[in-house]
Amino acid sequence: MMSVITVQFVKMVTANMLLSVFFVSGALAPCPYNPDLFITAPKQMEALSGSCLRIPCHFRAKPDEKFKNPRKTFGVWIKNSKYFAPNHKNVIFNSSWEHIFYPMKITGDLSQKNCTTLFSSLITNHTDTYFFRIENRPFLATASCDPLQITVRGSAPSPRIEISGDLKEKESVTISCSASTPCPHSPPKLTWNLQQDPPNNIEENTDRTFTTKIQKTITLSDTHDGFTISCSATYPVNEGREVKTAEERKTLSVSYAPKDTSVSISPSGLVSAGSWVNLTCSSRAKPPASFSWFKNSKDGAISVAEGKFYSVNVTGVTEDYHCVVTNVLGNQRSSWISLKSAESSDSSLIWASALGGVIIIIIIIICLAVCVCSLMSTRRCKTKHPNPQQPQSQGAEVLEVPGSWDVVRNQF
Ligand SMILES: *[C@@H]1O[C@H](CO)[C@@H](O)[C@H](O)[C@H]1NC(C)=O
Ligand SMILES: *[C@@H]1O[C@H](CO)[C@@H](O)[C@H](O)[C@H]1NC(C)=O
Ligand SMILES: *[C@@H]1O[C@H](CO)[C@@H](O)[C@H](O)[C@H]1NC(C)=O
Ligand SMILES: *[C@@H]1O[C@H](CO)[C@@H](O)[C@H](O)[C@H]1NC(C)=O
Ligand SMILES: *[C@@H]1O[C@H](CO)[C@@H](O)[C@H](O)[C@H]1NC(C)=O
């Protein structure tokens, strides 16, 4: 008696130490019973009505010497959320029974301490707490500290979409969709909008339950940002006569360096020199980018301002600007934008007008010559034609609308 009390005391102290070390809550509090049987099985399992549930199970007895005749071992399942002592009401399965009263079958080899059980034709009423018991007279023990909570749901469980790695452009990520597979005999079929007929793989988890999985590796780009992955799991039920489906969606949020950087000018129409012009830098970037403005000078580009907008007082000289957009993933530069003032346009305007005048005079001469020639052609015209060479193409490029300043975009 003394030794028992001492053992209990030591147990309690150990438990308390564990509690204080790991700050565990009541969920992991020591079981108040002192059973001679333990099972290794999931604590909670979810299943789908109309389907089956495979319960991976392994047991061990304490002390081992009491459990000597493995061949005459009976496995028993007891159903009750409160009482795990066997009586005729709550014993739902006994491996010695010839008739099956409950749709259960121990598929594991009990002599190998394998109590793996298949629970089939589930209905939501089967939701309960179950205890495993071993009978091998004189050894009789219930694993009262290892309750198994089974929840049978009427609708299919949603699959899970998981993405490994950072959601950044150029990053290669593996996207997977997985569905719990309580009944590996009739697993769900997974489909998604990332590929046609994806190969379904059934994987065993560390707790010996199963998961059906599909996966695909993709290299991300900015076009994936905002894309919604939708994955559905279709479970066959009632011997495959019906199916139950559940869907999961996940929208990708992909970060990317600035794209499509450009500068727009307001007002875009005619502006006289000495007035303000607003430059706006536009770009797509995630996360949002910061903007800087640079002006071209003899010594190269010099920083002139920060921010999306930049106001410039149009002066007498031509000035080139560009903006640079930066976020954590990189930066992008817009093309140069030239602001040409009315004054600087004026000088070229004089040349343009002069050239225009010359062209008009040449055209008049040609016309006159042609007219005279055609008049004389009936009278066997033999005069030489004037030289038709003229800087037509050159003139068209230089010609400008008087009084305007213009903007030239140079692609670098
Ligand atoms: C299980 O079956 C065996 C053999 O028929 C029997 O001895 C035992 O009492 C049964 N156990 C329970 C809990 O019904
Ligand atoms: C237990 O038995 C099942 C058959 O129902 C088998 O699939 C499983 O691998 C066995 N487990 C171990 C640990 O041997
Ligand atoms: C499920 O349980 C309810 C009451 O708990 C009962 O009325 C119903 O008939 C049961 N359904 C089946 C299919 O056993
Ligand atoms: C713009 O510059 C001109 C001279 O180039 C100056 O007269 C004018 O006041 C400036 N405008 C503003 C709003 O500062
Ligand atoms: C430029 O923007 C400022 C405010 O940002 C505004 O007050 C001004 O009218 C704008 N000028 C032009 C020419 O658009």
User: How sure is the predictor about 171, in pLDDT bands with cuts at 50, 70 and 90?
Assistant: very high
Residue 141 φ then ψ, to 5°: -150, 145
Does residue 125 surpass a pLDDT of 60?
Answer: yes
**Residue 389 confidence (pLDDT) above 50:** no
In a domain, 284, yes or no: yes
The finding on whether 154 has its CB within 6 A of some atom of ligand 3 is: no
Q: Considering the domain boundaries, does residue 179 fall inside one?
A: yes
Total domain count for the chain?
3
CB distance 134 to ligand 1 below 6 Å? no
Ligand 5 binding pocket includes 309 (Cβ within 6 Å): yes
CA of residue 172 to ligand 1 center, whole Å = 58
Pair 240, 267 in one domain:
no
Q: Which of 109, 134, 153 is the last residue of a domain?
A: 153
pLDDT tens figures, 291-325: 999 999 888 889 999 999 999 888 777 889 999 99
pLDDT tens-digit map of 192-251:
999 999 999 999 999 999 999 999 999 999 999 999 999 999 999 999 999 999 999 999
pLDDT band of residue 274 (cuts 50, 70, 90) is confident
What is the average per-residue pLDDT within 332-336? Answer: 95
Compute, in angstroms, the gap from residue 41 CA to the centroid of ligand 3. 27
**What number does the ligand 2 atom closest to the CA of 107 have?**
5
Residues 149 and 170 grouped into a single domain: no
- 133 and 86 housed in the same domain: yes
CB 229 within 8 A of CB 250: yes
Q: Percent of the chain scored above 70 by pLDDT?
A: 73
Residue-level pLDDT at 266: 85
- Cβ pair 115, 57 in contact under 8 A: yes
d(CA 96, ligand 2 centre) in Å: 20
**Selected residue with higher pLDDT from 48 and 1:** 48
Q: What is the pLDDT of residue 364?
A: 67
Closest-approaching ligand to the CA atom of 128 = 3
Calpha distance 371→365 (Å, rounded)? 10
- Whose C-alpha lies nearest to ligand 3, atom 9? 125
Pocket flag, ligand 3, residue 124 (CB < 6 Å):
no
Q: Please, where are the H alpha helices in 258-407? A: 342-377, 392-398
Q: Name the closest ligand to CA 265.
A: 5
Instruction: Name the residue with higher pLDDT: 388 or 31.
Output: 31
**Which domain-ending residue is among 234, 251, 268?**
251
In a domain, 349, yes or no: no
Strands (E), 228-327: 228-237, 242-251, 256-266, 276-286, 290-297, 300-306, 309-313, 319-327
Distance 275 CA to ligand 4 centre (A): 7
Which of 111-115, 291-295, 353-357, 372-376 is least confident? 353-357
Q: Are 224 and 163 in contact (CB under 8 A)?
A: no
From ligand 5's centre to the CA of 407, what distance in Å? 18
- The confidence score (pLDDT) of residue 358 equals 62
Residue ID of nearest Cα to ligand 4 atom 14: 313
Ligand 3, pocket-test mutation among 81, 101, 123, 125, most atoms within 8 A of CB: 125
Q: Is the residue at 56 inside a domain?
A: yes
Output phi, psi for 354, to 5 deg.
Answer: -60, -50
Q: Which numbered ligand comes closest to the C-alpha of 309?
A: 5
Region 276-291: mean pLDDT is 95
Residue 270 has pLDDT above 90, yes or no: no
Residue 82 pLDDT exceeds 50? yes
327 and 279 in a single domain? The answer is: yes
Name the residue with the closest Cα to ligand 2, atom 14: 114
Indicate if ligand 5 lies below 6 Å from the C-beta of 164: no
What pLDDT sits at residue 269? 64
d(CA 13, CA 20): 10
pLDDT of 13 strictly over 80: no
Residues 263 and 177 in one domain: no
Give the strand pairing for 201-204 and 210-219.
antiparallel
Q: What is the pLDDT of residue 75?
A: 94
Higher pLDDT, 273 or 148: 148
Residue 396 lies in a domain: no
pLDDT score of 95: 92
Q: What is the pLDDT of residues 213-229, one digit of tens each?
A: 999 999 999 999 999 99
63 found inside a domain:
yes
Q: pLDDT value at position 35? A: 84
Phi and psi torsions of 69, nearest 5°: -110, 80
CA of 108 to the centre of ligand 2 (A): 5
Q: Give the confidence band of 116 by pLDDT, cuts at 50, 70, 90.
A: very high
Q: Minimum-distance ligand to the CA of 137?
A: 1
Q: How high is the pLDDT of residue 29? A: 62
- Domain that includes residue 110, residue range: 37-153
